[in-house]
Amino acid sequence: MNNWLFLAFLSIGAISCAHAQSTETVVPGVKTTPGVVTNISVDQLAAALAADSSIHVLDVRSIQEYVGGHIANAKQIDILQNEHFKEEIQKLDKNHTYWVYCRSGHRSLIAADEMIRAGFTSVINVEGGFNAWSARKKE
């Protein structure tokens, strides 16, 4: 039942966003569409940071994970602390673009979806999360 409900909401969202305008980000070819989570690679995040080091990067892992290593200047808000997460994102400017990551990409997708539902207009999920970011840095 939950899967059907999810698919129904997803379909409604896709239909309602069909006419939404995409917005270019600091990375050529990476666009965001209001109401839709955009997925990117860690290489695209690195390009975004190289183009503009003041972009809004959001780390949704636990504080312990964050302390163990994080992307420079990332703001940490733990998605697993659901009520705290909802309170903290309300303090953010909903008109900025947020580049969201976690350890592997699963929690960040949940967080990005939560942000879209909270009225954020431009949210990007970093696929592979900090694991992929760390692996990229070692290459």
Q: Taking the CB of residue 42, how many other CB atoms lie within 10 A of it? A: 22
Does the active-site annotation cover 102? yes
- Give me the catalytic one of 102, 109, 112, 116: 102
CA angle 113, 92, 14 (to 5 degrees): 25
Residues 79-98 as b or e (16 or more Cβ within 10 Å = b)? beeeeebeeebeebeeeebb
Q: Taking the CB of residue 71, how many other CB atoms lie within 10 A of it? A: 21
Nearest alpha-carbon partner for 32 in 110, 103, 94? 94
In sequence order, the β-bridge partners of residue 41 are: none
Q: What is the DSSP letter of 6?
A: H
- What tokens appear for 111 in the block? 């967080």
What residues act catalytically?
Answer: 102
